[in-house]
Amino acid sequence: MMKKIALAAFAFAVAGSALAIEPDKAIKTRQAGYAYIGWNMNKIKDNVEGTYNQAEVIKAANAIAAIANSGMGALYVKGSEKDVGNVKTYVKPEFFSKPQDAAKYAQAFTKEADELARIAAVGTVAEVKAQHGKVGGTCKACHDDFKMKN
């Protein structure tokens, strides 16, 4: 049920929605979202590899899950598939030609991010470490197909 809604919402956003944000702002906003996710992923990595601070890990995991669930598909508006002026994008054109595939990667990421937030609250360091690795796998899977190297 949720899956269908997410797919439909995603395809709609790619086709161009009434709530559309300008392409240059869409690029900057999605990049900021990913950068913020990355910062929080690194914090968790530091914790599981160094001194573990559960409160910090919970905050980071919740931030990642919140962004994962924020509907980033809506930031892939028409016109944002290529650079806009001096605003550069690293998205591959396939993101727009195969929106169903992109949505599947986004859903896998969201599912594992939700699980990471759940485990951060109740799990052991080893469990958090393993789940952090699973989330990282979903980042890489999407990047391999849909993000240019930068």
Which residues are near ligand HEC by CB under 6 A?
Answer: 27, 30-31, 34-35, 37-38, 41, 89-91, 95, 102, 105-106, 109, 135, 138-139, 142-143, 146-147
Rounded to a whole number of angstroms, the minimum distance from the CB of residue 104 to ligand HEC is: 8
Which CB atom, from 15 or from 82, has the smaller least distance to ligand HEC? 82
- Cα–Cα distances (Å) from 30 to 127, 128, 129, in that order, read 29, 26, 26
Which amino acid is it at 66? A
Minimum gap (Å) between residue 142 Cβ and ligand HEC: 3
- Which CB sits closer to ligand HEC, 53 or 100? 100
Report in angstroms how near the CB of residue 68 gets to ligand HEC at its nearest.
8
Helix pair 2-15, 99-122: axis angle to 10 deg: 130
Burial 56-90, CB ≥16 within 10 A → b, else e: bbbebbbbbbebbeeebbbbbbeebbeebeeeebe
Smallest distance, Å, CB 98 to ligand HEC? 11
